[in-house]
């Protein structure tokens, strides 16, 4: 903790004990690095300064602020949890660890972080940074993603935090040490305050610990988007729930077998006569579990009437299930900023503006 006092970074969520603000920062930091996290944190707090503001917001507004971070279920869970707090807890963020943990989207790490940072309670917060240094320090060779790792290390850290007078500082220091000193590669053992008792340093096992199980290969996904321009409007759809990018808008899309890279036959067959292909954008987009080869077909529709995407009751694209009247819209491209979109869609829109 002495080391932390002298070396820690100054971050806005460290200067507050407001549990709501700490919670928002923790969820954002699960998605992005600290520098980008600062920007999103400020935007989120400005837009929804109190729990009640988040609870009462339109879901679309929440997704819009979250846009670009990915894992949109986290943003939806934030709002669900805010609504639970308002509905069942009198609008006051709970002060008990178990009640914090019961909220949607809050796991053991986040509950411990909030409980200690906001209320000074002794619960060890164990994120990836903490797992890394503790695996090396204690010499634990169980893969850090396995529950057995946390079962072994959790009680050791818990014992230490219960003996400190500042559990909040202990957790901050523990996370900061893993992030800034005991880094993934080339840990800075020469400046580490734990060096004298560190198993990995003593045995020169820094490169062998922690044990990390390789993730399985992401699945390929061949996805085609249809950006139909009709007069000054384009057609967008809102993706259904549950599923990937749930509740976000995109140009209608269609999944094809991986070898099919041309203009989708289903679209050509039904819409072909009235379409001019203007240009195509191709982009490879990586998600944690998918590798998307995306093609965005920008076309002009020459028919007088708008095209009909339902043929004999069959939809010509994968998603949109008429969630409500706002699930399928013709809008002017200038209006698109009003709608939350996923990062791939954002890429197509940004590049389009440069064409």
**205 vs 331, which CB is nearer to ligand SF4?**
205
**28 vs 126, which CB is nearer to ligand SF4?**
126
- 144 is an interface residue for ligand SF4 by CB under 6 A: no
* Residue 274: partners with Cβ closer than 8 Å, 6 or more residues away: 301, 302, 303, 307
DSSP states of 109-135 as a string? HHHHHHHHHHH--------HHHHHHHH
Number of chain positions touching ligand SF4 (CB under 6 A) = 15
- 133 is an interface residue for ligand SF4 by CB under 6 A: yes
**84 vs 180, which CB is nearer to ligand SF4?**
180
- The correct pick among 11, 52, 189, 323 for binding ligand SF4 (CB under 6 A) is 189
Q: Please say whether the beta carbons of 247 and 324 come within 8 A.
A: no
> What is the smallest separation between the CB atom of 44 and ligand SF4, expressed in angstroms?
33
Tell me how far apart the alpha carbons of residues 72 and 234 are, in angstroms, rounded to a whole number: 24
**180 vs 346, which CB is nearer to ligand SF4?**
180
**3 vs 71, which CB is nearer to ligand SF4?**
3
User: What is the number of alpha carbons within 13 Å of residue 8 lying toward its C-beta?
Assistant: 20
Note the maximum CA span of the chain: 78
Dihedral sign computed on CA atoms, order 341, 79, 32, 73: negative
Cis peptide before 242 (omega within 30 of 0): yes
- The correct pick among 22, 78, 153, 198 for binding ligand SF4 (CB under 6 A) is 198
Tell me how far apart the alpha carbons of residues 10 and 155 are, in angstroms, rounded to a whole number: 29
> What is the smallest separation between the CB atom of 206 and ligand SF4, expressed in angstroms?
5
Q: Please say whether the beta carbons of 224 and 317 come within 8 A.
A: no
Q: Which residues are catalytic?
A: 26
- 4 is an interface residue for ligand SF4 by CB under 6 A: no
- 210 is an interface residue for ligand SF4 by CB under 6 A: no
Counting beta carbons within 10 angstroms of the beta carbon of residue 286, is it exposed (0 to 12), middle (13 to 18) or buried (19 or more)? exposed
> What is the smallest separation between the CB atom of 108 and ligand SF4, expressed in angstroms?
22
> What is the smallest separation between the CB atom of 180 and ligand SF4, expressed in angstroms?
10
> What is the smallest separation between the CB atom of 205 and ligand SF4, expressed in angstroms?
8
Q: Please say whether the beta carbons of 115 and 100 come within 8 A.
A: yes
Q: Which contiguous run of DSSP H or E holds residue 129? A: helix 128-138
- The correct pick among 19, 122, 187, 264 for binding ligand SF4 (CB under 6 A) is 187
- 195 is an interface residue for ligand SF4 by CB under 6 A: yes
Where does this chain bind ligand SF4 (CB under 6 A)? 133, 136-137, 181-182, 187-189, 192, 194-195, 198, 200-201, 206
């Amino acid at each position: 903790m002495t080391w932390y006092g002298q070396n820690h970074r100054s971050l806005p969520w460290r200067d507050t004990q407001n549990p709501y603000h700490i919670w928002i920062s923790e969820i954002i930091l699960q998605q992005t690095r600290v520098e980008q996290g600062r920007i999103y944190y400020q935007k989120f707090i400005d837009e929804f300064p109190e729990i009640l503001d988040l609870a009462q917001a339109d879901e679309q507004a929440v997704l819009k602020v979250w846009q670009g971070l990915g894992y949109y279920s986290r943003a939806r869970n934030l709002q669900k949890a805010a609504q639970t707090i308002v509905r069942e807890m009198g609008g006051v963020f709970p002060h008990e660890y178990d009640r914090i943990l019961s909220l949607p989207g809050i796991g053991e790490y986040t509950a411990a972080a909030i409980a200690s940072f906001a209320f000074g309670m002794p619960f060890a917060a164990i994120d990836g940074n903490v797992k890394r240094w503790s695996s090396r320090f204690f010499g634990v060779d169980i893969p850090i993603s396995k529950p057995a790792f946390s079962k072994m290390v959790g009680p050791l850290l818990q014992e230490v935090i219960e003996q400190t007078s500042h559990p909040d500082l202990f957790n901050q220091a523990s996370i900061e040490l893993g992030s800034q000193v005991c880094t993934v590669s080339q840990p800075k053992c020469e400046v580490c305050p734990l060096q004298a008792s560190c198993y990995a340093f003593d045995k020169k096992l820094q490169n062998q610990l922690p044990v990390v199980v390789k993730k399985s290969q992401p699945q390929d996904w061949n996805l085609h988007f249809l950006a139909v321009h009709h007069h000054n409007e384009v057609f967008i759809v809102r993706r259904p729930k549950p599923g990937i990018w749930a509740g976000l808008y995109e140009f209608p899309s269609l999944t094809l077998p991986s070898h099919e890279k041309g203009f989708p036959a289903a679209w050509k067959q039904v819409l072909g006569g009235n379409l001019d292909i203007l240009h195509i954008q191709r982009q490879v987009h990586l998600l944690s579990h998918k590798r998307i080869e995306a093609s965005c077909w920008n076309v002009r529709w020459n028919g007088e009437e708008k095209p009909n995407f339902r043929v004999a009751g069959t939809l010509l694209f994968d998603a949109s299930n008429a969630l409500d009247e706002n699930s399928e819209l013709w809008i002017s491209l200038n209006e698109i900023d009003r709608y939350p979109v996923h990062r791939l869609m954002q890429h197509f829109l940004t590049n389009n503006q440069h064409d």
